[in-house]
């Protein structure tokens, strides 16, 4: 873990490029630092000024006193590197490079960024930026605003790490309106040196930071990010707003999996596997953070809504179910207690409609009763102003007092339709550490995010099982392909790989003549499937190369000649290796397994329903390999077609254990051999009987 105290808790800061010119960056920067009441020493560097706003200036970096904790470079791009070099010689180890004109402009900028990295390496410096907006530490002891943010964030427990400076401004502004407070803010810019995970690790170790939020566009060292984010998510929630698309996965026509993966598949897998909470908008980022930073996580999905108007109660009910939560069912006893505190016309059924006449005492009493109900995980209190004879502020204050009986259950406030919150109730967000939302939808969304996080945290990690396999055999095959500069394994090589790694495969032979095919059929004494065997034919059924459920010698014979004559229409005789005769798997439901290499995350595993379900409905899911047994099971359960496998309409469920095992074997194979860049098992025929589950068709491609 990197020590970033020099950035966030510096005792002294040199500002290279400080200026007296009103409106210039160099002037604005000094003003920000002064205005936020920085507690350390400030050393502006400017050859032409002897002081800026009364602070003495230094003409050069060399002339600065020794032992400066942090330098901020905001000179023109031509001077940025010499300044960094001079900082290095002066022994300054932490540098924020605000200056733009690096990698982001392409061309010479890329070269300049490489030089920047080289200088930093030479002097063992840590760099934030270049092309960034700086940072803020709201901790009173330091009160550091080393940024250009026009909004000074309130102090609080949310750390905010942003790749884009401009977007950060928007987020800080939005957060201010919600009264969401920040522990630190940092704008990372081009991330030439310090990156997302460095900041995440740093704030994870801070007591003041309870929630970690990010705006992220690109991800570096994605695997490392996944591992560390997963670890940290167990301690503190990480919330990410992801901007832009990650580079698309490789799309080879020969592979279903590669072609099916969208540019977001890997990113989504990363979020799901690491427990990181993904939000889609700035608003959601702020609101979910507000919920996490002020309330305990609800212990279950059952929400109780208390309102003084019917309409919002109905909207809340809708939002709760749309977000995968439930309206809590209240017991007779709870309902009775509620009735005793409310007028007769009021409704004691969830949503509890206290009617417009409800005062703060009644609100508090009802909230207290709801919080005491065992099955209620959280209470959403909706106030539609103006409440009669009271104010939203008074209602919230009274509830906050009353809920002390049950501080472990969260309460979410919604104050609706009151323009600008004139009653000053928003100040209570900070004073009482409670969340106030404008709409029930926002509250429901935030609660749902908390519940999802809680479920992830409680989940078993599972095992990454290791099977006894013949990896030497696969190594030989892979090396052979590399030597021959051949990308695709021949069918027989694919079968060897499958067998070496213990995949369940059907009995088969490759017949050169109809007589051989019939002989195998006789020996097997059960229905067979015939398939063309040719390295030139990848999609066998498309060219009439597959005949299933052949039950007699006559059928086998005519299928054999039909397949051959179909094949001869598209390939020459030398390209036909024979016809495969395979045991027919009866009554199976088809699933597809696959893998491809994501440029950021490496090998990814896919699971989905086979056949047209894969191609048309894209009912598939991806995970970053290796996967655990729990993750494999989760993948299976997460697709829409799961119900089909689990036995819809009285059908028997398929055997899931063997599917999980097959997925784990695939996971092991592709982690053992990074040369495998695409693989499909389509279909894996599944069945209620484990022994009847077989990989009947597969393809493998390697990287040369
Ligand atoms: P391709 O994908 O190249 O067209 P497959 O070997 O996948 O060829 O066969 C096409 C379809 O035929 C499969 O999706 C499956 O429905 C069926 N099939 C293939 N082999 C068998 C088998 N051994 N038992 C039952 N059905 C099979
Ligand atoms: Mg197939």
Task: Decide if pLDDT at 252 tops 80.
Answer: no
582 lines ligand 1 (CB under 6 A): yes
Q: Which of 32, 316, 7, 313 is nearest to 188 (CA)?
A: 7
Contact 254, 230 (CB under 8 A): no
Q: Which of 255, 505, 541, 566 is the best mutation target for the ligand 1 pocket, counting ligand atoms within 8 Å of the beta carbon and taking the most?
A: 541
Which fold would CATH assign to domain 300-458? Answer: Rossmann fold (3.40.50)
pLDDT score, position 420 = 64
Task: Decide if pLDDT at 64 tops 80.
Answer: yes
Mean pLDDT along residues 187-202: 97
Ligand 1 atom with the shortest distance to the CA of 584: 24
pLDDT score, position 251 = 43
Compute how many other C-beta atoms are within 10 angstroms of the C-beta atom of residue 87: 28
Question: pLDDT tens digits, residue range 99-119?
Answer: 999 999 999 999 999 999 999
| Cα distance between residue 422 and residue 402, in whole Å | 24
Mean pLDDT of the chain: 94
686 lines ligand 1 (CB under 6 A): no
Compute how many other C-beta atoms are within 10 angstroms of the C-beta atom of residue 287: 27
Q: For the chain, what percent of residues have pLDDT higher than 70? A: 97
**Confidence band for 150, pLDDT divided at 50, 70 and 90:** confident
pLDDT score, position 249 = 39
506 lines ligand 1 (CB under 6 A): yes
- Residue 72 φ/ψ, nearest 5 degrees: -120, 120
684 lines ligand 1 (CB under 6 A): no
Residue with tokens 């067979």: 528
Task: Decide if pLDDT at 250 tops 50.
Answer: no
HEC profile of 88-156: HHCCCCEEEECCCCCHHHCCHHHHHHHHHHHHHHHCCCEEECCCCCEEEECCCCCCEEEECCCCCCCEE
**Given the DSSP bridges, would you call strands 620-624 and 94-97 parallel, antiparallel or unpaired?**
unpaired
Cα 698 to middle of ligand 2, angstroms: 7
Cα 604 to middle of ligand 2, angstroms: 20
**Given the DSSP bridges, would you call strands 411-415 and 436-437 parallel, antiparallel or unpaired?**
parallel
Ligand 1 atom with the shortest distance to the CA of 538: 3
- 383 vs 610: which has the higher pLDDT: 383
Indicate whether this model's pTM tops 0.75: yes
Q: Whose CA is nearest to atom 22 of ligand 1?
A: 584
Q: Which of 93, 104, 84 is nearest to 17 (CA)?
A: 84
Q: Tell me if 1-132 shares its fold with 149-294.
A: yes
**Confidence band for 302, pLDDT divided at 50, 70 and 90:** very high
Cα 490 to middle of ligand 1, angstroms: 17
Ranges of each domain in the chain: 1-132, 149-294, 300-458, 507-584, 589-702
Non-local CB neighbours of 221 within 8 Å, separated by 6+ positions:
195, 197
pLDDT score, position 320 = 98
Cα 546 to middle of ligand 1, angstroms: 7
Copy the structure tokens of residue 484: 């021959």
Where is average pLDDT lowest: 93-97, 414-418, 464-468? 414-418
pLDDT score, position 417 = 65
Q: Whose CA is nearest to atom 10 of ligand 1?
A: 541
Task: Decide if pLDDT at 161 tops 90.
Answer: yes
Q: Quote the CATH superfamily of domain 149-294.
A: Succinyl-CoA synthetase domains (3.40.50.261)
pLDDT score, position 248 = 45
pLDDT score, position 257 = 67
Contact 143, 38 (CB under 8 A): yes
Q: Which of 325, 216, 194 is nearest to 270 (CA)?
A: 216
Buried b (16+ CB within 10 A) or exposed e, 545-570: bbbeebeeeebbbebbeebbebbeeb
Task: Decide if pLDDT at 63 tops 50.
Answer: yes
Compute how many other C-beta atoms are within 10 angstroms of the C-beta atom of residue 124: 9
- Selection from 237-241, 415-419, 648-652 with the highest mean pLDDT: 237-241
**Confidence band for 516, pLDDT divided at 50, 70 and 90:** very high
Question: pLDDT tens digits, residue range 666-699?
Answer: 999 999 999 999 999 999 999 999 999 999 999 9
Q: Quote the CATH superfamily of domain 589-702.
A: ATP-grasp fold, B domain (3.30.470.20)
546 lines ligand 1 (CB under 6 A): yes
pLDDT score, position 151 = 87
Burial of 204 (0-12, 13-18, 19+ CB in 10 A): buried
**Given the DSSP bridges, would you call strands 155-162 and 211-216 parallel, antiparallel or unpaired?**
parallel
| Cα distance between residue 529 and residue 439, in whole Å | 60
Non-local CB neighbours of 697 within 8 Å, separated by 6+ positions:
531, 540, 681, 682, 683
**The CATH number of the domain covering residues in 1-132:** 3.40.50.720
Ligand 1 atom with the shortest distance to the CA of 539: 3
pLDDT score, position 419 = 63
Non-local CB neighbours of 532 within 8 Å, separated by 6+ positions:
540, 543, 545, 546, 563, 564, 566, 567, 576, 579, 580
Task: Decide if pLDDT at 259 tops 80.
Answer: no
| Cα distance between residue 359 and residue 361, in whole Å | 6
CA of 541, nearest ligand number: 1
Question: pLDDT tens digits, residue range 418-472?
Answer: 666 777 888 999 999 999 999 999 999 999 999 999 999 999 989 999 999 999 9
Cα 622 to middle of ligand 2, angstroms: 19
What DSSP character marks residue 58?
A: B
C-alpha of 558 from chain center: 53
pLDDT score, position 262 = 73
**The CATH number of the domain covering residues in 507-584:** 3.30.1490.20
Q: Whose CA is nearest to atom 7 of ligand 1?
A: 697
Helix, strand, or coil (residue 14): strand
CA distances from 437 to 425, 434, 590 (A): 11, 10, 47
Q: Whose CA is nearest to atom 20 of ligand 1?
A: 696
Q: Which of 467, 463, 465, 483 is nearest to 475 (CA)?
A: 483
**Confidence band for 651, pLDDT divided at 50, 70 and 90:** confident
pLDDT score, position 149 = 86
CA angle, corner 71, sides to 68 and 72, nearest 5? 155
**Confidence band for 243, pLDDT divided at 50, 70 and 90:** confident
Q: For the chain, what percent of residues have pLDDT higher than 90? A: 86
CA of 491, nearest ligand number: 1
């Amino acid at each position: 873990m990197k020590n970033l105290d020099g950035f966030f808790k510096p005792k002294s800061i040199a500002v290279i490029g400080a200026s007296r010119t009103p409106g210039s960056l160099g002037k604005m920067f000094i003003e920000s630092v002064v205005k936020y009441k920085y507690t350390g020493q400030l050393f502006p560097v400017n050859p032409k000024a002897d002081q800026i706003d009364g602070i003495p200036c230094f003409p050069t970096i060399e002339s600065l006193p020794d032992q400066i904790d942090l330098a901020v470079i905001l000179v023109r791009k031509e001077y940025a590197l010499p300044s960094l070099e001079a900082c290095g010689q002066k022994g300054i180890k932490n540098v924020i490079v605000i200056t733009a004109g690096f990698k982001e402009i392409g061309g010479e900028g890329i070269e300049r960024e490489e030089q920047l990295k080289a200088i930093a390496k030479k002097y063992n410096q840590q760099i934030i930026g270049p092309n960034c907006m700086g940072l803020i530490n709201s901790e009173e002891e330091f009160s550091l605003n080393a940024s250009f943010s026009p909004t000074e964030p309130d102090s609080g427990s949310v750390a905010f790490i942003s790749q884009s400076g401009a977007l950060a401004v928007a987020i800080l502004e939005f957060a201010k309106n919600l009264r969401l407070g920040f522990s630190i803010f940092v704008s990372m810019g081009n991330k030439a040196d310090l990156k997302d995970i460095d900041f995440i690790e740093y704030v994870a170790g801070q007591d003041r930071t309870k929630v970690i939020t990010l705006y992220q566009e690109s991800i570096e060292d994605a695997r490392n990010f996944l591992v560390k984010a997963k670890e940290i998510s167990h301690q503190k929630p990480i919330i990410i707003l992801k901007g832009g698309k990650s580079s698309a996965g490789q799309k080879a026509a020969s592979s279903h999996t590669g072609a099916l993966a969208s540019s977001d598949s890997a990113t989504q897998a990363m979020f799901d596997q690491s427990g990181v909470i993904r939000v889609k908008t700035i608003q959601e980022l702020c609101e979910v953070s507000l919920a996490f930073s002020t309330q305990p996580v609800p212990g279950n999905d059952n929400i109780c809504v208390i309102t003084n108007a019917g309409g919002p109660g109905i909207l809340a009910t809708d939002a709760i179910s749309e977000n995968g939560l439930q309206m809590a069912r209240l017991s007779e006893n709870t309902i009775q207690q509620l009735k005793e505190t409310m007028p007769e016309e009021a409704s004691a059924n969830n949503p509890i409609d206290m009617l417009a006449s409800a005062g703060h005492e009644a609100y508090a009493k009802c909230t207290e009763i709801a919080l005491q109900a065992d099955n209620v995980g959280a209470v959403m209190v909706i106030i539609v102003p103006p409440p009669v004879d009271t104010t939203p502020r008074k209602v919230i204050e009274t509830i906050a007092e009353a809920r002390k009986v049950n501080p472990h259950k969260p309460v979410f406030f919604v104050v609706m339709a009151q323009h600008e919150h004139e009653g000053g109730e928003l100040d209570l967000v900070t004073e009482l550490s409670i969340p106030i939302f404008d709409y029930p939808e926002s509250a429901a969304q935030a609660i749902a995010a908390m519940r999802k996080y809680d479920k992830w945290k409680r989940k078993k990690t599972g095992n990454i099982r290791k099977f006894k396999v013949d990896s030497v055999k696969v190594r030989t095959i892979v090396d052979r392909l590399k030597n021959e500069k051949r990308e695709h394994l021949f069918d027989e090589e694919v079968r060897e790989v499958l067998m070496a790694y213990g995949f369940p495969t059907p009995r088969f032979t490759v017949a050169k003549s109809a007589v051989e095919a019939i002989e195998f059929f006789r020996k097997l004494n059960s229905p067979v499937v015939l398939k063309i065997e040719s390295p030139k034919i990848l999609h066998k059924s498309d060219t009439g190369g597959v005949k299933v459920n052949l039950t007699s010698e006559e059928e086998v014979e005519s299928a054999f000649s039909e397949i051959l004559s179909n094949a001869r229409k598209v390939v020459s005789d030398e390209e036909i290796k024979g016809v495969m005769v395979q045991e027919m798997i009866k009554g199976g439901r088809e699933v597809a397994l696959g893998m491809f290499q994501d440029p950021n995350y490496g090998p990814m595993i896919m699971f989905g329903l086979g056949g047209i379900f894969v191609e048309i409905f894209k009912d598939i899911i991806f995970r970053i390999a290796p996967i655990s047994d729990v993750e494999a099971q989760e993948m299976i359960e997460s697709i829409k077609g799961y119900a089909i496998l689990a036995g819809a309409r009285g059908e028997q469920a398929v055997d899931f254990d063997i599917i999980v095992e097959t997925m784990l074997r695939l996971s092991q194979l592709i982690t053992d051999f990074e040369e495998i860049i695409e693989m499909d098992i389509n279909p894996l025929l599944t069945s209620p009987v484990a022994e009847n589950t077989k990989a009947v068709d597969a393809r493998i491609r390697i990287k040369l």
